[in-house]
């Protein structure tokens, strides 16, 4: 303690309450080497000093004093929230008074007469140190805004309880939809009021049922709750309580993920990971507010974790295979092979062929898709070179550029390096950017696309019409090709709406003076209709499904032999 005091250059303040002048002087001489000492002659004077002269780290209190005794002063201090946290050492020569004082709230005692200065200093130091450490613990134990536990103490208490009690427990995650927007639109005071209200409602719930809670982050609450059959009443109470707030028109939507009867063989953090997985499944679903973690979700989680764990090894072992789907020009006398699209496939050594619908959205959500993109770019660059050497012609290949790639400052350098190693030009590798990427950071996207086009790359907007684009974006962001979403071609002969939308896309392409690639063409009637509408390029099962390189070569040979 002495070393810490000297390091911080802080002299703790000690209040000596003693009616005999000689004793006050003795104590002051003992303490002043380490502490700033203030003296009072009785309990009444001491209370006035405590309430008017700032913070004290310790009170040394005599019991037998005029005006106000030490016992009464001790009682008043412990009843006053502003003073109750100051430790008290009682000074007495009567053994019976020691027990009474400790029961009254004193923390230690010193026997009179004061014949051992080292003992007095040691006891003062120990008590101050204990209280300062406890004060730090108290401040970190709870969230200052809501009064709920901090996450560290929350999980520690759960671990202790799980070891001592066998009752069923449920893990609940409560999250606020778009909380950051509430803060931005209504202000942080409103946001804080929402958080405090939710904490209050949770606390009321846990007064009736066993459980503890914490605020994990800005708008996420974790609740360890004794098992209940039906949580509708609980969630209804919290949502009804939120309606009482005046929130300047802000609409609050809560999401609840519940992991029933948690597996005690797992660490508590994983209980809530499972509940969070269920809660995450409610994002964008406005028909439900509560989701339960079940065996299906558990198996899905294990499957996804397996895919995430295996991606690096599968890239190294070349379990990923790049397939190619041809694109044909259809406006001449007969369809002509013009280019191809690179599509990734995963032939897992243990799980077999894995659908791209299983791993691509997963890797897009956690950023791992960037590794796949680079693998595809490398493979496509090498494949263009091989076909160019073997058949004396270039078959341009379109590769996907994900949203996360747009923010990579080395994107252009990486692409150019691949082309350089394979002796290719930028015109031989086309870049497909999904339409959803155009709705993110438009300024950044414009900068990247303009730079890439300046290098000679051909930019294709993929999945045009799938729900994100706007005409304003098309006029501000440069593109070279529109790839019409496949659902239009597939449905164009089934309903009038899809047919008219196909026509609209063709009108837009003519206005922008860029060609259209129609995806998903499977029938000759669709092909003929698109040709009549002025579509230049077609991609789909009518010509070929995506195939590995060796099968694609048969299409190149067929093209050459006529």
Question: For 422-446, how does the pLDDT look when each residue is reduced to its tens digit (9 = 90+)?
Answer: 999 999 999 998 755 665 667 888 8
Of 352, 349, 340, nearest in space to 376 by CA? 340
Q: Outline where 21-90 has alpha helix (H).
A: 21-31, 43-52, 70-79
Burial grade of 149 (CB within 10 A; 0-12, 13-18, 19 or more): buried
* pLDDT reading at 479 higher than 50: yes
Kind of pairing, strands 429-434 and 397-401?
Answer: parallel
Count other Cβ atoms within 10 Å, centred on residue 238: 19
> What DSSP string runs through 79-109?
HSTTTTTS-EEEEES-HHHHHHHHHHT--EE
Reported confidence tier of residue 127, pLDDT bands at 50, 70, 90? confident
Domains, the chain, with CATH or none: 2-140 (3.40.50.2300), 151-293 (3.30.70.270), 319-561 (3.20.20.450)
> 290: which DSSP letter?
E
* pLDDT reading at 392 higher than 80: yes
Considering only residues 183 and 292, tell me which one the structure prediction assigns the higher pLDDT: 292
Considering only residues 349 and 284, tell me which one the structure prediction assigns the higher pLDDT: 349
Residue that has been written with the tokens 């003519």 in this structure: 510
| % of residues, the chain, pLDDT over 90 | 36
* pLDDT reading at 249 higher than 60: no
Separation of alpha carbons 231 and 233, rounded Å = 6
Considering only residues 372 and 238, tell me which one the structure prediction assigns the higher pLDDT: 372
Q: What CA dihedral angle connects 98, 99, 102 and 104, to 10 degrees?
A: -110
Contact 279, 255 (CB under 8 A): yes
Q: Outline where 142-187 has alpha helix (H).
A: 151-164, 179-186
How far, in whole angstroms, is CA 237 from its chain's centroid? 27
> What DSSP string runs through 410-446?
THHHHHHHHHHHTT--GGGEEEEEEGGGGGS-HHHHH
* pLDDT reading at 246 higher than 60: no
Reported confidence tier of residue 367, pLDDT bands at 50, 70, 90? confident
Q: For the residues 488-515, what does the mean pLDDT come to?
A: 89
Edge-to-edge strands, sheet with 169-176 = 211-217, 220-226, 169-176, 254-259, 290-292
pLDDT score for 137:
63
Q: For the residues 497-512, what does the mean pLDDT come to?
A: 89
pLDDT score for 530:
94
- 369-391 and 295-316 helices, crossing angle to 10°: 40
* pLDDT reading at 9 higher than 70: no
Q: For the residues 47-55, what does the mean pLDDT come to?
A: 82
Separation of alpha carbons 22 and 86, rounded Å = 25
| % of residues, the chain, pLDDT over 70 | 91
Give the torsion sign (CA, 508, 514, 520, 522): positive
pLDDT score for 374:
97
pLDDT score for 234:
87
Q: What is the pLDDT of residues 66-100, one digit of tens each?
A: 888 888 888 888 888 778 878 888 887 766 676 77
* pLDDT reading at 192 higher than 70: yes
Q: What is the pLDDT of residues 254-305, one digit of tens each?
A: 999 999 888 888 899 999 999 998 898 887 777 888 999 988 888 888 898 8
Contact 91, 24 (CB under 8 A): no
pLDDT score for 1:
38
**pTM value?**
0.62
* pLDDT reading at 248 higher than 70: no
Reported confidence tier of residue 487, pLDDT bands at 50, 70, 90? confident
Q: List the single range of 3-7, 26-30, 212-216, 258-262 with lowest mean pLDDT.
A: 3-7
Which residues does 181 contact at the CB level (< 8 Å), separation at least 6?
none
pLDDT score for 455:
95
């Amino acid at each position: 303690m002495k070393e810490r005091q000297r390091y911080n250059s802080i002299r703790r303040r000690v209040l000596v309450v003693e009616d005999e002048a000689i004793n006050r002087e003795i104590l002051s001489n003992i303490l002043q080497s380490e502490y700033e000492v203030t003296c009072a002659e009785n309990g009444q004077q001491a209370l006035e000093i405590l309430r008017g002269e700032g913070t004290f780290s310790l009170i040394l209190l005599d019991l037998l004093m005029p005006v106000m005794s030490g016992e009464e002063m001790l009682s008043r201090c412990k009843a006053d929230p502003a003073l109750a946290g100051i430790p008290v050492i009682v000074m007495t020569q009567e053994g019976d008074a020691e027990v009474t004082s400790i029961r009254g709230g004193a923390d230690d005692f010193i026997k009179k007469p004061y014949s051992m200065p080292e003992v007095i200093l040691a006891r003062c130091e120990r008590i101050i140190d204990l209280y300062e450490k406890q004060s730090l613990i108290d401040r970190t134990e709870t969230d200052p805004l809501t009064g709920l536990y901090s996450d560290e103490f929350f999980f520690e208490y759960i671990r202790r309880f799980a070891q001592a009690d066998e009752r069923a427990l449920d893990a609940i995650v409560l999250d606020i939809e778009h909380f950051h927007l509430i803060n931005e639109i209504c202000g942080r005071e409103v946001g804080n009021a929402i958080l405090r209200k939710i904490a209050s409602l949770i606390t009321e719930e846990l007064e009736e049922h066993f459980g503890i809670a914490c605020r994990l982050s800005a708008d996420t609450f974790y609740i360890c709750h004794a098992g209940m059959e039906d949580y509708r009443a609980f969630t209804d109470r919290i949502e009804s309580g939120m309606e009482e707030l005046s929130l300047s028109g802000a609409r609050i939507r809560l999401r609840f993920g519940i992991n029933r009867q948690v597996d005690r063989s797992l660490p508590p953090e994983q209980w809530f990971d499972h509940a969070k997985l269920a809660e995450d499944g409610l994002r964008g679903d406005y028909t439900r507010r509560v989701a339960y973690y079940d065996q299906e979700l558990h198996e899905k989680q294990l499957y996804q974790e397996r895919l995430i764990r295996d991606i690096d090894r599968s890239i190294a072992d070349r379990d990923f295979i790049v397939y190619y789907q041809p694109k044909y020009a259809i406006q001449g006398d007969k369809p002509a092979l013009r280019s191809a699209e690179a599509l990734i496939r995963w032939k897992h050594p243990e799980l077999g062929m894995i659908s791209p619908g299983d791993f691509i959205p997963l890797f897009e959500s956690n950023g791992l898709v960037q590794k796949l993109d680079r693998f595809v770019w490398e493979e496509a660059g090498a494949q263009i070179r091989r076909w160019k050497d073997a058949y004396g012609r270039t078959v341009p290949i379109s590769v996907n550029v994900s949203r996360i790639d747009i923010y990579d400052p080395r994107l252009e350098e990486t692409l150019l390096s691949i082309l350089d190693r394979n002796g290719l030009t930028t015109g031989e590798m086309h870049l497909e950017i999904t339409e959803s990427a155009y709705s993110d950071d438009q300024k950044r996207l414009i900068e990247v696309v303009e730079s890439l086009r300046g290098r000679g790359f051909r930019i294709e907007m993929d999945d045009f019409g799938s729900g994100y684009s706007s005409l304003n974006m098309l006029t501000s962001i440069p593109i070279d090709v529109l790839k019409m979403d496949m659902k239009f071609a597939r449905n164009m002969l089934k309903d009038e709406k899809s047919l008219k939308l196909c026509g609209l896309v063709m009108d837009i392409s003519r206005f922008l003076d860029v060609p259209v690639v129609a995806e998903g063409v499977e029938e000759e009637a669709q092909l003929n209709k698109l040709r009549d509408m002025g579509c230049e390029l077609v991609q789909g099962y009518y010509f070929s499904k995506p195939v590995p390189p060796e099968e694609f070569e048969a299409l190149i040979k067929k093209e050459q032999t006529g």
